[in-house]
Amino acid sequence: MIEVRVPATSANMGPGFDCLGIAVNMYNRFFVEEIEEGLVFEGCEDKFKNEDNLIYVAMKKCFEKLGYKPTGLRIKIESDIPVCRGLGSSASCVVGGVVCANELAGRILNDQEILALAAEIEGHPDNVNPAFCGGMTASITEDDKVFYTNVKVKEGIKFCALVPDFTLSTEKARAVLPKNIDYKNGIFNVGRTALLISALNNGDFHLIKYACKDKLHEDYRAQLIENFYSVKDECERLNCLGVFLSGAGPTIMVMIREEDNEFCKNIQKFLDGLKNNWEAKELRIDSVGTVVNNPDQLNKCS
């Protein structure tokens, strides 16, 4: 049986809409084996035990590309990444499905081909790249090709994910975005995206609070998240380094200093007074990315 572990991811990181993402130490695990016949799911709700399951959809796409036809499949899922919360649950399923299928078929696809197929299925590369490669990545698509680079983040930073108990689909979160943007808002985000990458790379953490600001998506999506601004204001009052909407939301991601051991406890006290059962989860950067349980593990992102 093949085991594949894929980390959660947080995309956009404020101004880096659809291009920046970072992997964190929360994981989904997928166990897959070929069986004589049929399609068997374990570890997920009954409503996901069908051919519309995203892991199976990704596997099927990969099999079709490779011309491989399994006799049957058993798919077991151990999920720690909350669904539809802006932490890359769908990207983890897509990456996990493609990698599992590629393993079963004999490791035909290389790393670039895996990423390209995963980005095609997911629709954009900002989550799939860090999910596969680990760490922070900047990525774009051009002529149906994915181009990306890893961003080295200076030591001394960690995260606190503020996760409410309600979901928010990416489709709904995208539906509230404008069709066009003001020129000055584009300039605003371009500058802050460059500043954020440089600040994280150089360890200029005092600049993050300025670099995290956004004018392309957060204000539009905030209307879908009750208490968004009050939570954000409290994070800033507690001296976080920066705060931003994680992916399409509703999770709010906070960057804090490594030595700050009080932030998560203090913000949880504030969250306990709100609706929607918010939970503060302290996280760190996952620098490994997708892991396969075979001895001759994938040589990823070389």
Annotated binding site for ATP: 82-92
Q: Which residue has the tokens 């980005």?
A: 119
Residue pair 86/225 in contact by the 8 Å Cβ criterion: no
DSSP characters over 36-86: SSEEEEESS-GGGSSTT-HHHHHHHHHHHHHT---SEEEEEEEE-SPTTSS
Alpha helices by DSSP H, listed for the chain, are 54-66, 89-104, 111-122, 128-133, 170-175, 183-202, 208-211, 218-222, 228-237, 263-271
* Binding-site residue positions: 82-92
Please give the Cα distance from 177 to 190 (Å, whole number): 18
Question: Using the 8-state DSSP alphabet, how is residue 182 labeled?
Answer: -
Please give the Cα distance from 240 to 157 (Å, whole number): 11
Residue pair 58/6 in contact by the 8 Å Cβ criterion: no
How would you label 73-102 residue by residue, b for 16+ Cβ within 10 Å and e otherwise?
bebbbebebbebbbbbbbbbbbbbbbbbbb
Please give the Cα distance from 148 to 20 (Å, whole number): 10
Please give the Cα distance from 251 to 192 (Å, whole number): 21
- Helix, strand, or coil (residue 262): coil
Please give the Cα distance from 244 to 14 (Å, whole number): 5
CA dist list (Å): 225 to 102, 106, 120, 170, 276: 38, 44, 29, 13, 10
